[in-house]
A and B are shown apart, each in its own frame.
Chain A
Amino acid sequence: MLAAEDLVVAYGENVVLHGLSISVAAGETVALIGANGAGKTTLLRTVSGLAPVRSGEIRFDGQPLGRRAAEARVRLGIAHVPEGRRVFPGLTVAENLILGTTPWRRWGQSYAADLDRVFDLFPRLRERRGQLGWSLSGGEQQMLAIGRALMARPRMLLLDEPSLGLAPRLAEEVYERIREIAAAGLTILVVEQNTVLALAVADRGYVLENGRIVLAGAAADLRQDVRVRQAYLGR
């Protein structure tokens, strides 16, 4: 469904991704793990159109994305849950979710069923639907950011560090929901520093170091890999 080939991305002189290639098949959950600064966030930003490609190509459904703007990519079905959640702080939970429907909704079309589905997945959001974004806890904001992306009726979800800044139990809860979303058939590319959580939900994984893929394989194999265990699992 998604394929990046020889992707080079740079901010000015500073090359962040050095000819990186990854692919995600339809229905698959793929984890991209690596240390801070490895280029994980940049890769997701490039896929969703927030960062420009220097060379190489990203294809979605076999179609090159080229210089298509972020606004157009979300209409194709790529929903990006950005680093730091980026919930609209001065908008209520319900308003944040309504904005998620922008890519597909025409004037007067109902989104009630979509809203119900998100509220069933994250019951806390239903309770807090009238609260402003800034007043939510970190875990609730993450749920809202994911819920907002689901409101776009995406074909693929890009998740940037969903566990960031969350207490371990909350992080596990968020990943439990991600597992449910994946089980429902949605294609997911998740970027994560918390290797244990990410490899537990993923089918496959890539290890990113300094803008290059250094290791790739089935998630189950990566969990057993000596290098991964030493570098990222701390044992």
Chain B
Amino acid sequence: MADFIQLCVNGLALGSVYALAAIGFVIVYAATGVVNFAAGQFVMLGTFAGVGMITQGALPLGLGYGAALAAMALFGVLFFVLVYLPLRKSPVVTIIIGTVAIGIVMQNAVLLSFGSWPFRLPSPLDGIMLQIGGAMITAHAVMVVAVTALLIGLIWLLFYRTALGIGMRAVAQDVEAARLMGLPVNRLLALSWVLAAMLAGIAGLLLGPMWFADVNMGDPIALKAFAATIIGGFGSLPGAIAGGLFVGLAELLGASYVSSAYKDLIAFGAMILFLLVRPQGVFGERIQDRG
């Protein structure tokens, strides 16, 4: 039982990271129609932004987190200006391939600047363990879940309770009608990329202390976030959250109760099953109907 609780908390923590990556993925997809294949590399970059500021830059944790997130926000702007804007008039497939290319560039740029040796990113709660129902759980895992829950709340407030977020949803649904409302379409699209980059950054900072910071960490994250969005429902925010948590739990419970060799089988098996039987995912209705 203690083992089970421990696995569940760790699974939820890992799932939270997948969910954050998936939410960023969904925000960009809903707003621009672009499937961002670099989403996993965004998370990797977030971890290495943390490594650069905290492990190497020796900034105190709070400041380091702030600096890493600012760097990720800037990266979101750059991505919008240098990748999305020049390609936005081309077929959406071209942009998607562009994201694949940029993902490869990002991976190699990080390899070039940080080397292939893995780093460890500290956590503010390093070494603190909590005892829940007889299970020993790292405080970091609990923090990951709490931070994710808080972020989901904030994202919900943004999209459903502020004029800014309503405008972002409007741009996602009908760009031309949004222009007729006087909405600053390009700024709102840029904001989608910034938001996605910052969420990926937070995911990377939270994931760093749980895994090693490694230049190849982005690929498995991209695949898991992708599986999460398909299981939850492509383009659906609640779907991204539910899918992310499911994939994280399936991975840790599967590794422990089946075999670590099969830990990915459950998540990807579920994804394939959904593609075959219910391609619209759990949250089938499209909250961001593109009109």
A contact set with B: CB distance below 8 Å: 48-50, 69-71, 74-75, 79-80, 82, 86-91, 95, 98-100, 102-103, 105, 134, 148, 152
Query: Is the CB–CB distance between B181 and A90 below 8 Å?
Result: no
B183-A90 in contact (CB<8A): no
A69: chain B residues within 8 A (beta carbon): 179
A74 CA to B182 CA, complexed, in Å: 6
Q: Which of B226-250 contact A (CB under 8 A)?
A: none
B109 within 8 A of A: no
Knowing A88-B291, A90-B289, A134-B289, say if A80 contacts B180 (CB, 8 Å): yes
Complex Cα gap A148–B177 (Å):
11
Q: Is the CB of A74 within 8 A of B173?
A: no
**Nearest CB in chain B: distance from A77 CB, A:** 11
Of the candidates A75, A79, A98, A103, the one whose C-beta lies within 8 Å of that of B163 is: A98
Q: Is there an interface contact between A91 and B173, defined as CB atoms closer than 8 Å?
A: yes
Binds A, one of B85-93, B100-108, B164-172: B164-172
For B172, the chain A residues whose CB sits under 8 A away are 90
Residues of A within 8 A of B174 (CB): 86, 88-89
User: Which residue of chain A has its CB nearest to the CB of B287?
Assistant: A90
A99:B181 contact, CB within 8 angstroms: yes
- Cα of A49 to Cα of B174 in the assembled complex, Å: 16
Give chain B nearest CB distance to A152 CB in angstroms. 7
- Assess whether A74 is in contact with B176, with CB atoms less than 8 Å apart: no
Can you name 8 A-B pairs with beta carbons within 8 Å? A50-B176, A69-B179, A70-B182, A82-B180, A86-B174, A86-B177, A99-B167, A102-B181
A70 neighbours in B (Cβ, 8 Å): 179-180, 182
Closest Cβ of chain A to B225, distance in Å, is 23
Identify the B interface with A (CB < 8 A): 163, 166-167, 169-170, 172-174, 176-185, 286-289, 291
Instruction: Give the docked Cα–Cα distance between A102 and B168 (Å).
Output: 13
Known contacts being A88-B173, A95-B166, is A100 close to B181, with CB within 8 Å? yes
Give CA–CA (A89, B184) in the complex, Å: 19
**Chain A residues within 8 Å of B183, by CB:** 71, 99, 102
Picked from A49, A74, A89, the residue with its CB within 8 Å of the CB of B181 is A74
Q: Do residues A90 and B173 form an inter-chain contact, with CB atoms below 8 A?
A: yes
Known: A88-B177, A88-B291. 6 other contacts (CB 8 A): A49-B179, A71-B183, A74-B182, A90-B169, A134-B289, A152-B182
Cα–Cα distance between A148 and B174 once the two chains are bound (Å) = 15
B291 close to A89 (CB less than 8 A): yes
- What is the CA–CA distance of A87 and B166 in the complex, to the nearest angstrom? 13
Contacts of A79 in B (CB 8 A): 180
Q: Which residues of B contact A152 (CB under 8 A)?
A: 181-182
Chain A residues, Cβ within 8 Å of B176: 50, 82, 86
Q: Is the CB of A88 within 8 A of B170?
A: yes
Q: Cβ of B291: which chain A residues have Cβ within 8 Å of it?
A: 86, 88-90
Contact partners of B289 in chain A: CB under 8 A = 89-90, 134
- Contact residues in A for B163 (Cβ distance below 8 Å): 98-99, 102, 105
Given A50-B180, A98-B163, also A71-B170 (CB < 8 A): no
Give complex CA distance A5, B176 in Å.
25
Is B179 a contact partner of A50 (Cβ separation < 8 A)?
yes
Tell me whether A102 and B169 are in contact (CB under 8 A): no
Whether B185 contacts A71 by the Cβ 8 Å rule is yes
**Chain A residues with Cβ under 8 A from B167's Cβ?**
99, 102
Q: Chain B residues with Cβ under 8 A from A87's Cβ?
A: 177
* Cβ contact within 8 Å between B182 and A102: yes
Minimum Cβ distance to chain A for residue B147 (Å)? 28
A95 and B174 CA atoms in complex are apart in Å by 14
Residue among B166, B173, B180 making CB contact with A89, cutoff 8 Å: B173
CA of A105 to CA of B179 in the docked complex: distance in angstroms? 16
Distance in angstroms between the alpha carbons of A74 and B173 in the assembled complex: 19
Q: B164: nearest residue on chain A (CB-CB)?
A: A107
Q: Which residues of A contact B170 (CB under 8 A)?
A: 88, 91, 99
